[in-house]
């Protein structure tokens, strides 16, 4: 072979090897398709090893945004110098760099959001709308999710509140998938239009218009590969009145998860009740019946609620549930912050469940009627061992930790100071 030909072959081979090595490095460094995210109250034993913290994930997602950020938030509450400040600063910087930022806030909590609204509303590239859910369905915009570049979704219990980053226990998740992002964007766009024109009959006519993509549903879920194992993920939204007809509601999927449990069901949620606490009074049996039926089938059901759930009649309900064989309930009281009492903080605000160490739920709403019937919320339903095992480890750390106390049917428990 001529020298020139050999040299070209060697150079070509070297270039190919470099490309392969580069691809391998990129593959190794690519972020996972699904990540569980945890907020850890300072001064507590919480914090699962290997699980990233909320502020770090939010900053990474925002700082890498190139085209768009769509945020649905119950409210935004900042304290200068606290953990949310760098997040808001990053949002402003990306908007100034040309990223289109849309923020949807709840109308009833605008007093809490006013300072952040005044800070953000006048900034180039940031558009804010207020959704009057109270006037539309009698509920609130309680969802906490955002979409970056039509490719990445964050959803979880974390409000856009400085306390949610360092003073409250929270669980969320990141999904990197264009199809999932489009699914959440469809829910966001529906409510975004309603915020501009709160005409619910007109919105319901739009709700039947077919999508131009395949939305992620329970019947057509997202299937991903992570660490050599499949993950099957679907999305759920509430309430039915404030979402396109072709998106899946949360409650039927949550009931299927509970009904599908065969051995174990672990639940951590701030509040849980069959009493209708917001809106018309009455009894709501859907989740209650599913939980009791699971226990009657022999499923070991463990539930952690926040001490905020000790108010009546919720405490009475939890005691009645604790009477069931195979159901154990504990409430959590976090220690006061090192700097002293902080209003609306130091609480278990997580909303997740794990069945049989293979099926998981991560959501934004508490477990009572209004959060599914009148209030805007969102959630993920995941089938896969790895995320279930991560959530189980977080649950067991709480369940076996120093901050929980079992709720006994004959006990009496004083609700905590909240503000």
Q: Parallel, antiparallel, or unpaired for β 152-156 and 170-176?
A: antiparallel
Examine the residue annotation and report whether 144 is marked as an active-site residue of this protein: yes
Distance of alpha carbon 277 from alpha carbon 341, whole angstroms: 27
Residue 349 annotated as catalytic: yes
User: Which residues, in sequence order, are bridge partners of residue 328?
Assistant: 302
Instruction: Give the active site residue among 151, 330, 349, 351.
Output: 349
Q: Which of the residues 149, 189, 277, 357 is marked catalytic? A: 149
Half-sphere exposure of 19 (CA within 13 A, CB side): 6
- Catalytic choice (144, 151, 330, 351): 144
Residue of 124, 362, 343, 372 lying closest to 240 (CA atoms): 372
Question: Which of the residues 142, 151, 182, 351 is marked catalytic?
Answer: 142
142 classed as catalytic: yes
**Residue 390 and residue 399: Cα distance in Å, rounded?**
14
CB distance 391 to 315 below 8 Å: no
Determine how many CB atoms are found less than 10 A away from the CB of residue 152. Answer: 22
Max Cα–Cα distance, the chain, nearest Å: 93
Which residues belong to the active site? Answer: 142, 144, 149, 349
């Amino acid at each position: 072979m001529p020298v020139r030909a050999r040299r070209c072959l060697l150079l070509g081979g070297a270039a190919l090897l470099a490309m392969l090595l580069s691809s391998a490095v990129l593959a190794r460094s690519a972020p996972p398709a699904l990540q569980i995210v945890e907020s850890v109250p300072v001064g507590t034993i919480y914090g699962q090893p290997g699980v990233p913290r909320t502020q770090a994930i939010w900053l990474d997602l925002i700082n890498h945004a190139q085209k768009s950020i769509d945020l649905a938030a119950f409210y935004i509450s900042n304290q200068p110098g606290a953990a949310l400040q760098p997040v808001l600063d990053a949002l402003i910087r990306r908007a100034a760099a040309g990223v289109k930022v849309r923020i949807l806030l709840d109308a009833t909590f605008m007093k809490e959001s006013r300072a952040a609204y005044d800070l953000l509303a006048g900034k180039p590239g940031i558009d804010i709308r207020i959704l009057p859910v109270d006037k539309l369905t009698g509920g609130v915009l309680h969802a906490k999710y955002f979409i970056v570049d039509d490719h990445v979704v964050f959803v979880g219990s974390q409000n856009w509140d400085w306390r949610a980053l360092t003073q409250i226990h929270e669980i969320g998740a990141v999904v990197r998938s264009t199809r999932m992002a489009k699914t959440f964007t469809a829910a966001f766009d529906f409510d975004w239009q309603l915020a501009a024109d709160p005409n619910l009959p007109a919105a319901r006519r739009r709700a039947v218009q077919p999508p131009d993509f395949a939305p992620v549903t329970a019947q057509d879920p997202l299937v991903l590969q992570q660490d050599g194992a499949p993950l099957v993920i679907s999305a759920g939204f509430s309430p039915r009145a404030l979402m396109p007809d072709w998106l899946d509601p949360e409650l039927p999927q949550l009931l299927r998860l509970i009904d599908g449990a065969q051995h174990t069901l672990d639940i951590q949620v701030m509040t849980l009740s069959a009493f209708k606490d917001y809106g018309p009074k009455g009894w709501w049996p859907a989740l209650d019946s599913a939980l009791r039926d699971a226990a009657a089938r022999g499923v070991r059901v463990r539930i952690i609620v926040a001490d905020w759930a000790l108010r009546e009649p919720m405490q009475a309900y939890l005691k009645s549930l604790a009477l069931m064989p195979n159901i154990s309930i504990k409430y959590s009281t976090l220690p006061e912050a090192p700097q002293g009492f902080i209003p609306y903080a130091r609480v278990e605000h997580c909303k997740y469940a794990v069945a049989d160490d293979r099926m998981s739920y991560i959501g934004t709403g508490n477990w009572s009627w209004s959060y599914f019937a009148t209030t805007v919320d969102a959630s993920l339903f995941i089938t896969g061992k790895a995320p279930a095992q991560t959530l189980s480890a977080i649950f067991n750390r709480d369940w076996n930790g120093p901050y929980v106390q079992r709720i006994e049917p004959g006990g009496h428990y004083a609700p905590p100071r909240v503000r």
